[in-house]
A and B are shown apart, each in its own frame.
Chain A
Amino acid sequence: MFDYRVKFDQSGKIIYSNAPMIPAQHDQIDRYLPLFYDIEALEDFDLKALRPYECHIGNKKYFFHLDWSFHEIDNMRFYELLIEDRTSSYNRLQKERSKKNTLRLEQDYLIDRLNTEVEEKNEARSDNHELKTILEHTREGIIYQNQMTGEIVKANHKALELFSCQKVEELKSIQHIHFNGNPREEYDPKLFVHLWNKERKREAKEEVIKLNDHAQKEKYFSVRVVEEQALKLESLNIIFVSDITNEYQSKLELKNKNKELLQYIESNVQLEQFAHVASHDLRAPIITIKSFSNLLKEKCADRLNDNESKYLNIIKENADQMFSLVSDLLDYAQINSQKIAFKKTNLQFLLEGVIDSFRSIANQTNVTIEIVNRLPEIVVDDVKLKRVFQNLLSNAIKFADPTKKSFVKIDFAELDDKYEFMICDNGIGMKEGSVDIFQPYTKLNLQTEYEGNGMGLAICKNIIKQHKGEIYYKSTYGEGSRFVFSIPKEL
């Protein structure tokens, strides 16, 4: 029953052994089987309940079943260890278990694979359906092209429609029509192959081409070639085409308009520069005439007869008027040529300063000036805005009605996105007419009645325009005028 026996005394010393792994003499049993270290405890231990004892002898692995017994001689207890070699039966058992496991695993794997394939097939069917729907309903023309030969394999309805074709075969002829060379300069009969070769990049690149469709109608197309790997299709180019004829032509028109506009701006700038230089250079001789005619009048007044004095006065007055005209023209040209310098400005202080400068003339003409609501502190070009107040106040005082008690009222209102400033007077007002009073040199009165060159409001309009604001007026003849200008809150 048992293959080997080992006898040992109660000190653990081996007395007899026929087990090849345990020598018979001078050895303690616990050296080989640590379980037997505490022999007293061993008596309470059920060895059979243990797993097979596993050990290596040489390179071979053994499984043993252990049992034990004891007997007493002269009060000495002797133990016998019974060792049964179960190596072969255990190996066989393990092999059988392993085989069963492998079979179970294979079976599970096959079931999983089957399920996955079923799922994939369902998904593919669904994807295919979706793709078909997208292809036929997209607004882009989609063309499948053999990457090597350039042959068109397939195209959606939109692509056929874009090139005025009924079937794919007709579409193929598009490749061979003459390429106009604008905006591209080269002609390649295999147009799309050409595109593809040129754009052999990993990303799809859009290009505008101009060609005649199947009905020989000139069109502009936006073409995008996507590499086949991106769509997992072997050796195919996917070409996305959109008709951008309208957009492209609008773009060209816009470009031409912009060019024209730039030319106008340039000529306008040149004109303003000319006005500036001309008015600047004209001032010098006029000042000379003005100053010397004054001098002559002063020095020779007593020596001139009436006619001579009259002639001298005419020279002087005309020199004064020419000086005024040229100075205003220079002012107007300077307003446009000067850069605008925005800064936070207390308009109340600014306006009070302007009113002070008019105080004397206002008193002389019996005009009262009143600021209705305190003006705010906002971002403006203070020098230029001062000029606006000066011009509008000057006009309001100049055109006061001498037959009534005249007033000028300045007010302001804060709106959502802008500030509005109002300059109202009860002066002579303006007759209705088609004259644009904001144009340079526009006058509604005779020079003999009211001095001025009609540049003040033109200058105001330009300054307000530079502030991205608006200026307008309302006037009733005989009752007065109301000028309103606005400055946006965000400049």
Chain B
Amino acid sequence: MKLYFIDDDEAPHIYHRLMAEESGISEDQIENFYEVDQAIAKLEGQINAQDLSQWPSYIFVDINMPYKSGYDFVKEVEALIPQELMPVIYFVSSTKNPSDIQKVEAIDIIKGFETKFLESEFFKSLDFQKN
């Protein structure tokens, strides 16, 4: 199982890595991206190479990022990834803005909307059987 974290801020990456590790997820299962394009490039590369060994089961993406937002990421992922390969995607933000909540509810491929920071209990609740 692979977890992708997309956030322009270093602190959430460090914190989430620690919490994920506390929940039993190993360091090599975590990939950190600081902008949307990096993550898209990684996903696209795997599809083109037809090698899904590093394919993520979960993607945690921040909403407010410079250049491209979490919503831009979702748009590109919808166009890039076939439904059967679609990872579970969570939006993670410091604030649960009501307008964001409404928008997220309308996007099918978003599993949920969580506020920062995610604790180890959250990672423990993830379905580890998912590949």
A contacts, CB < 8 Å to B: 280, 283-284, 287-288, 291-292, 295, 330, 334, 338
Majority-rule SS of A interface residues: helix
Report A286 CB to chain B, min CB distance, Å: 8
Residue of B nearest to A284 (CB): B94
In residues 72-131 of chain B, which contact A (Cβ within 8 Å)?
Answer: 94-95, 97-98, 115-117
Per the bound structure, the CA–CA distance linking A330 and B93 in Å amounts to 14
B18 is an interface residue with CB less than 8 A from chain A: yes
Which of A280, A287, A292, A334 is packed against the most chain B CB atoms within 10 Å? A287
Q: Besides the contacts A280-B97, A284-B94, A288-B12, what 4 more A-B pairs have beta carbons closer than 8 Å? A: A280-B95, A284-B95, A287-B94, A288-B9
Residue of B nearest to A338 (CB): B98
Per the bound structure, the CA–CA distance linking A33 and B17 in Å amounts to 137
Per the bound structure, the CA–CA distance linking A334 and B102 in Å amounts to 14
B15 is an interface residue with CB less than 8 A from chain A: yes
In residues 1-42 of chain B, which contact A (Cβ within 8 Å)?
Answer: 9, 11-12, 15, 18
B contacts, CB < 8 Å to A: 9, 11-12, 15, 18, 94-95, 97-98, 115-117
**Contact in complex: B18, A288 (CB < 8 Å):** no
List the 5 closest A-B pairs by CB distance, nearest first. A284-B94, A288-B11, A291-B117, A283-B94, A280-B95
- Residues of B within 8 Å of A338, CB to CB, are 98
Per the bound structure, the CA–CA distance linking A97 and B51 in Å amounts to 128
24 CB-based A-B contacts, threshold 8 Å: A280-B94, A280-B97, A283-B94, A283-B95, A284-B9, A284-B94, A284-B116, A287-B94, A287-B115, A287-B117, A288-B9, A288-B11, A288-B12, A288-B15, A288-B116, A288-B117, A291-B15, A291-B116, A292-B11, A292-B15, A295-B15, A295-B18, A334-B98, A338-B98
Residue of A nearest to B94 (CB): A284
Per the bound structure, the CA–CA distance linking A338 and B96 in Å amounts to 13
Per the bound structure, the CA–CA distance linking A288 and B10 in Å amounts to 10
- Residues of A within 8 Å of B115, CB to CB, are 287
